[in-house]
Amino acid sequence: MFRGNGTMNFQRILAGAILLSALLAATLWSANGTEKAVEVKGYVLDSACAFTKNLNKPVSRECALACAKAGSPLVILGQDGIIYWPISNRTPATGQNEKLFPFAGQRVTASGKLFERGGSHALVIDKVEPLSADK
């Protein structure tokens, strides 16, 4: 009889430990996943110019396209000065330049999911459209 109770107690402890581990893992995952829906307004330019030339807007559409076609990732330089890196939500991840090629050198409004980590800002773009001159 003692063995039966011991086995039952062990099973309860094990089940509790598994449940606690699952809850802890879910809490840590949600705390690290700083994902939120956003709308970003800014210029589409290549990442190298955004950093090395400290540009506030692209030199030209042609320049942004030439750099992007040569392999420089296109980014969105927000009105707030933050550089938003377009990323893929797929595995394996894919480059996002093709999504932004039509808007290179232009002001845009992009909406999607923002991820922040270590001071970097990455955006999974759901929708992007040109920003009219009056906005």
Burial (CB < 10 A; 0-12, 13-18, 19+), residue 48, is middle
Task: Inform me whether the pLDDT recorded for 12 exceeds 90.
Answer: no
Q: What is the mean pLDDT of residues 125-133?
A: 90
Q: In this predicted model, what pLDDT tens digit does every residue of 30-40 receive, in sequence order?
A: 445 578 999 99
Q: Which residues pair with 112 in a beta bridge?
A: 38, 125
Closest CA to 62 of 92, 106, 2: 106
Q: In this predicted model, what pLDDT tens digit does every residue of 47-92 receive, in sequence order?
A: 998 899 888 888 899 999 999 999 999 999 999 999 999 999 999 9
Q: Which residues pair with 110 in a beta bridge?
A: 40, 128
Helix (H) or strand (E) holding 104: none
Q: What is the mean pLDDT of residues 88-99?
A: 92
Task: Inform me whether the pLDDT recorded for 41 exceeds 90.
Answer: yes
- The CA distance from 113 to 53, in Å, is 28
- The neighbour count for residue 121, using CB atoms within 10 Å, is 18
